[in-house]
Amino acid sequence: MLPDAQMRLITRLALIAGALALSGCYYLHLAAGQLEMNRRREPIAALVARDDTDAALRQRLDYASHAREFAISELGLPDNGSYRSYADLGRPYATWNLFAAPEFSVKPRHWCFPVAGCVAYRGYFDEQRAARAAKHMADRGDDVYIGPSLAYSTLGHLRDPLLNTMLGYGDAELAALMFHELAHQTVYVPGDSDFNEAFATVVEDEGARRWLTHLGRGEELAAFLESSRREERLAELMIATRNRLAAIYASGEPAGQMRSSKAAELAHLRESLTALGLKSAGELNNAGLAAVATYHRCVPALTALLAEHGGNLPAYYSAIRALARDSTARSALCPSDRR
């Protein structure tokens, strides 16, 4: 069953930071989570061949293997050890990602890592640990948002396994998640989350479209495209609200007036979503709106760039790599976010 626009937004909130961390405790948490993932990993080919493998799991793993080969042969994505193994984490999500923003700012707080650069969220392998961190930041006065993610990426530095958390939805979503994460392994710019996520999202959507067309699954493709349109509409409404809030926060009004205006904007957004049959992924606040903006703000520009190259993915990747080396060109294509 295909997830709705809300769930598709959630699935995009995948952990980027996978190297050194801000504190010893957090580093140990990440290291322990990665080690546990590695401990549970088994080769997909061996699982598919085993007689005692559950039939439904065997079918999904075999499907994933074919989609993985399609990613290499037809999408030009990396041919490496990622998604050649499977790990059952025994939980519904791979990570929980914490976003935070001041009460009167649309700018998310950032955390910086040596490999991933500065990113707008902090990932946890444990939901309760994420909740405690969120409470700490909320007690300081920040808006907070926790987004669970189905996938986990080390950006190609390790052989990322296929996870049980990635198998919980439809076939289209499973393939799309792999295409998204493999796109991060193709091009990644430390410190530019908006650009990275827009590129991976474009590859995800184009890859899923080509994959489902290849399989001849017309009805599934139509459902996937409709889900994408609903997601796009949801993101547009939330980003527009965020832009209006930015103007309010820059107005110099007294805190009480800004607080009232903020509440009115968020209430209007909630009503608009309800009228369209949409639902936000979590509480509506500055942090939640920042999360959506990170993953969607630059998608239109990079989608147009793919169209300029006639859908030729190798040429598109070359253009993306050139942008990755040129911060001025990236800024021109996708101007800096509102602060």
Domain total of the chain: 1
| CA separation, residue 180 to residues 74, 147, 198 (Å) | 15, 17, 10
Higher pLDDT residue, 156 or 272?
Answer: 272
Position 139 confidence tier, pLDDT thresholds 50, 70, 90: very high
DSSP string spanning 140-170?
TT-EEEEEEES-B--TTSS-PPEEGGGGSS-
- How far is residue 71's CA from residue 23's CA, in Å, rounded to a whole number? 37
Residue 141: predicted pLDDT: 96
Residue 24: predicted pLDDT: 61
- For residues 278 and 285, the answer to whether their CB atoms sit within 8 Å is no
- How far is residue 152's CA from residue 293's CA, in Å, rounded to a whole number? 20
- How far is residue 128's CA from residue 96's CA, in Å, rounded to a whole number? 9
Mean pLDDT of 22-37: 78
Position 30 confidence tier, pLDDT thresholds 50, 70, 90: confident
Check pLDDT > 50 for residue 5: no
Q: Which domain holds residue 247?
A: 5-326
- 335 domain residue, yes or no: no
Higher pLDDT residue, 289 or 25?
Answer: 289
Mean pLDDT of 89-108: 95
Beta-strand relationship, 162-163 and 85-87: parallel
Residue 20: predicted pLDDT: 33
| Amino acid code (one letter) for 96 | W
Check pLDDT > 70 for residue 4: no
Whole-structure pTM value: 0.87
Q: What's the pLDDT tens digit per position in 63-94?
A: 999 999 999 999 999 999 999 999 999 999 99
- 333 domain residue, yes or no: no
- How far is residue 35's CA from residue 78's CA, in Å, rounded to a whole number? 23
Position 45 confidence tier, pLDDT thresholds 50, 70, 90: very high
Mean pLDDT of 24-52: 89
Report percent pLDDT > 90 for the chain. Answer: 70
Structure token pair of residue 316: 């598109």
Cβ contacts of 52-58, under 8 Å, gap ≥ 24: 57/167
- 25 domain residue, yes or no: yes
Q: What's the pLDDT tens digit per position in 111-127?
A: 887 666 788 888 999 99
Q: What's the pLDDT tens digit per position in 186-215?
A: 999 988 888 999 999 999 999 999 999 999
Check pLDDT > 90 for residue 137: yes
Q: What's the pLDDT tens digit per position in 276-332?
A: 887 766 679 999 999 988 888 899 999 999 999 999 999 999 999 999 999 999 999
| CA separation, residue 139 to residues 22, 100, 134, 144, 320 (Å) | 20, 12, 9, 10, 41
Residue 10: predicted pLDDT: 39
- 270 domain residue, yes or no: yes
Check pLDDT > 90 for residue 157: no
Higher pLDDT residue, 19 or 251?
Answer: 251
171-186 vs 193-215: helix crossing angle, rounded to 10: 130
Strand order in the sheet with 85-87: 41-43, 85-87, 162-163
Check pLDDT > 80 for residue 143: yes
Higher pLDDT residue, 184 or 6?
Answer: 184
Residue 67: predicted pLDDT: 98
- 331 domain residue, yes or no: no
Residue 156: predicted pLDDT: 84
- How far is residue 56's CA from residue 44's CA, in Å, rounded to a whole number? 14
DSSP tag of 117: E
How confident is the prediction for the chain on average, in pLDDT?
89
- 160 domain residue, yes or no: yes
Give residues with Cβ within 8 angstroms of 224, minimum separation 6. 2, 172, 176, 208, 209, 212
| CA separation, residue 315 to residues 209, 305, 308, 320, 321 (Å) | 18, 10, 10, 9, 10
Q: How many CB atoms lie within 10 A of CB 83?
A: 23
Residue 132: predicted pLDDT: 95
- For residues 93 and 149, the answer to whether their CB atoms sit within 8 Å is yes
DSSP tag of 92: S
- For residues 332 and 195, the answer to whether their CB atoms sit within 8 Å is no
